[in-house]
Chain A
Amino acid sequence: MAREIMKGTDAVAKAVVSADPDVVSAYPITPQTGIVEGIADLAAQGAYDGEFLRIDSEFNAASSVIGASAAGARTFTATSSNGLKLMSEPLFTAAGMRLPLVLAVANRSISAPLSIWNDHTDAMAERDAGLVQLYAEDVQEAVDNTLIAFRVAEELKLPVMSNLDGFVLTHVQEPVDVPEPEAIEEFLPRYEPEHTLDPSDPKTMGAYARPEHWTETTYVPHEVLLQAGDAIERATAEFEDVFGRSYGDAGGLLDTYRLGDADVALVVLGSLAGTTKDAVDRAREDGIRVGVVRPRVFRPFPGEALREALGGVEAVGVLEKAISPGSGGPLTMELKAELYDLPDRPLVRNYVLGLAGRDVTVEDVREMSAELYADADVPPHQAPTEDREIWPQLREDILPEEVSH
């Protein structure tokens, strides 16, 4: 296992090939494209001998890996943004049909307006599909999550989405260890499916269910996802045993930073954690006791782990690169629901920022930490409503009159 300076997409492509999927479906979309191009290159060099489908759309990229998975294959595809939306209909069936597949999503905003840059609105809009959702902070984690994703998908018989921030991680070059296939065999043995489309043992898959059965077939993936934390914990623990890299606290569900003595915490998904950790270091120099909680998993929602991690802080700032229009940040909403039962629940403030690649600087986050710290002793029910959701980067000067304040 050699450490190399690699581009994020190349590193993920190598990781996928190391996991040796039987079928890969490829359709390009920025900023994911480098991943499937990387696999195509490896196939052209003879380093990958599975089926590489140059498919006609994301819709059929998802459809074909669903078919391949039903046939008993280990499968992979990748996408971003509107491509993920085009996959959405078939993806929603994968959990109900208990078909494992791994999907790398290079996170990107969704039209309109058209934008190719990073945020998490694409992944959040699939949150109800029954997919496990993993989020990576850096390229190494994106590589390792790819491998963990295969393991978790095949154990749970559920689809797994491995998220990595578009451009911030896909197009950055970092030193990365990509495990060689021989090393992976121990961690990721060949997929042995329970049920396949075997002609000698005919099965009906994807039947139509009437009301007397539909609820139960929907309850099962929900329950399996609720209990998926154990599988993720086992996978990350074994990953550490085999490869020596550890993924944080709470059985791999969370990564925490300087949280021990913190009065306030910043909750953040994905690559923004790096900036946030730097900002926290600066804020600490100013005497502000702030820590970071980074969920590595959004589905299943790591509610218990978050309650435990945040139970002792007075205020939480959720730095969120997504918005559910007409409501708020999806991660913030779910976090608030989790914290509601705590006897001394902290103030939770939603910062909507970094949308479609707008740069979030260390100084921005340091300022947020200071503001949050100053308000930390405000009881949640006394916090002004307008302070619960803040758009720190909003350019009021270019808003239309109808929505100006």
Chain B
Amino acid sequence: MATDQLEDGSDEPDEFDDSDKTEAADEFDDADEFEFDYDDAGFAPGHRACSGCGPAIVARHVVDEAGENTIVVNPTGCMEVVSSPFPESAWGVSWIHNVFANAPGVASGVEAAYRSFSRRGREEFEDHEDVNFIVFAGDGATFDIGMRSLSGMFERGHDVLYVCYDNEAYMNTGVQRSGSTPPGAHTTTTPSGEYSTGEDAPKKDMPAIAAAHGVEYVATASISDPIDFRKKVSRGLEVDGPAYVQVLSPCPVGWGFDGSETIEMGELAVETGVYPIYEMEHGEVTSAKTVRDRKPVEAYLERQDRFSHLFGGDAGEETIEAIQAEIDAQAEDLGIDG
């Protein structure tokens, strides 16, 4: 599904801009003074993510917003794989991975340990009362395999911010559908074909599931609006108890668009109402981002290979109509049309 062709349809890169080259070369001339210094980076470049990776941008925003007094628990998934190939690590904050299904369980234990230390007056942990405990997990680990673990973490009220980077499929295993895959999407386990228009189940409503657990603060966000996303991370960390933030994190490889278009794809998801941006407090929607002149869903679908089979046939047209109807209903529910 990866797009091999460049945006203009040619397979030749544009002429290299010499002015940039000269500037860069000048810097390299004085190599002793030129060094990469990412000592303070919470999530450093040099990880193995694909170019244009949405989740990698999300990771950086999460840890930069949280600051250094942070422990991240990361289940198995693409961000774990690309960021922690031993003996290297992109993580500048304390970070642990255990297995795919248990990040909230592990985070529960980490947070409980610090609570225990604090209650028992352990001097060496005195400075750590304000530690940010964050689970940073993909949609497969959240919507599917880790759901029980997450439910337990919510129910017990651990003071953990759960950030789900939602790229809508199992990306590092070759793009299989997850509970977050939207209807109509082609994946390797929901392939389009003569008898199939791709995924035929609705996307699981995880924010509602989180809210139904009594989670005080639940929010959605898009990588295309990092200021809004970081505010939500910050708000989630302030909450005394669990919080859930789900951020749309487009995947160039899985969705089939050029890596330079990641942010644009996030924007289109918001502008078409595919991914409504809202906050819930104590189970009630308290704010929803208004979308003026909401675009038709085709504007979003037609830009991605995973939906390309929907164009040019009756079945596809019906599917697009059904998707649009769902979006319209959801937009009305949330009152996002401006």
| Interface set of A (CB-CB < 8 Å, partner B) | 22-23, 25, 49-51, 53-57, 59-60, 62-73, 75, 89-90, 93, 97, 197-210, 213, 217
Contacts and interface: CB of A to CB of B under 8 A. Distances in A.
B278 interface: no
Contacts of B98: 63, 66-67, 90, 93, 97, 206
Contacts of A62: 105
Interface in B101-158: 101-102, 104-117, 119-120, 127-128, 131, 148-149, 151-152, 155-156
Contacts of B335: none
Interface string B78-117: 0011001111010111111111011011111111111111
B69 interface: yes
A64 B97 contact: no
Given A22-B117, A208-B84, A197 B148 contact: no
Interface of A is mostly: mixed
B231 to A, nearest CB: 22
Contacts of B92: 202
Contact of A53 (B106, B119, B156): B156
B119 A49 contact: yes
Given A56-B156, A89-B99, A204-B91, 18 more contacts: A49-B119, A49-B120, A51-B116, A55-B108, A55-B156, A56-B149, A59-B149, A67-B98, A67-B106, A69-B109, A70-B106, A90-B99, A199-B70, A202-B94, A204-B95, A207-B86, A208-B80, A208-B84
A54 B112 CA distance: 11
Given A71-B109, A71-B113, A202-B91, A207 B85 contact: yes
B68 interface: yes
Contact of B84 (A25, A49, A207): A207
B53 interface: no
B280 to A, nearest CB: 23
B148 A56 contact: yes
Given A53-B156, A57-B148, A63-B102, A199 B120 contact: no
B71 interface: yes
A67 B97 contact: no
A89 B101 contact: yes
Given A67-B73, A213-B86, A206 B97 contact: yes
Which of B110, B112, B131 is packed against the most chain A CB atoms within 10 Å?
B112
A54 B84 contact: no
Contacts of A210: 85-86
A23 B95 contact: no
22 contacts: A23-B113, A59-B101, A60-B105, A63-B105, A67-B98, A67-B110, A68-B109, A68-B113, A70-B96, A70-B110, A71-B71, A71-B114, A197-B94, A199-B131, A200-B127, A203-B94, A204-B95, A206-B97, A206-B98, A207-B86, A208-B80, A210-B86
Contacts of A97: 98
A97 B156 CA distance: 26
A55 B156 CA distance: 8
A201 to B, nearest CB: 8
A53 B112 contact: yes
A199 B128 contact: yes
A234 B111 CA distance: 33
Nearest to A204: B89
A57 B152 CA distance: 9
A53 B157 CA distance: 11
A99 to B, nearest CB: 9
B105 A67 contact: yes
B120 A207 contact: no
Contact of A59 (B93, B107, B148): B148
A25 B73 CA distance: 18
A197 B116 CA distance: 15
Contacts of B105: 55-56, 59-60, 62-64, 67, 90
Contacts of B112: 23, 51, 53, 64, 67-68, 73
A69 B93 CA distance: 18
Given A56-B151, A198-B94, A208 B86 contact: yes
Contact of A72 (B86, B113, B115): B113
A73 B125 CA distance: 11
